[in-house]
Amino acid sequence: MNQLFTYRALFGILLLGVPIVVVGALFKIQHWQGGDALITAGLVTEALAFAGIAARLLLPRAVLRSGHEPR
């Protein structure tokens, strides 16, 4: 159950980055100020979420639970 919550949290963070990037693109198309910062913030948010998802999928469960390599 805890692992499911973690995946939901990571996908939630990922989905928060998408509208930030879209609004940033709108700002850039309209030549409004702040578009660069919005796109950067959205893409960094998405990159962190993807890194978290990749870590949860690729690392063994024992490493995630204990914090160190199993013997």
What does the alpha-carbon distance between residue 40 and residue 29 come to, in Å, rounded to a whole number? 15
Number of domains composing the chain: 1
Residue at 1 is within a domain: no
Residue at 71 is within a domain: no
> In this predicted model, what pLDDT tens digit does every residue of 32-58 receive, in sequence order?
999 999 999 999 999 999 998 888 888
64: pLDDT strictly greater than 90: no
66: pLDDT strictly greater than 70: no
Q: 38 lies in which domain range?
A: 15-59
- Asked if 22 and 45 count as a contact pair (C-beta separation under 8 A), the reply is no
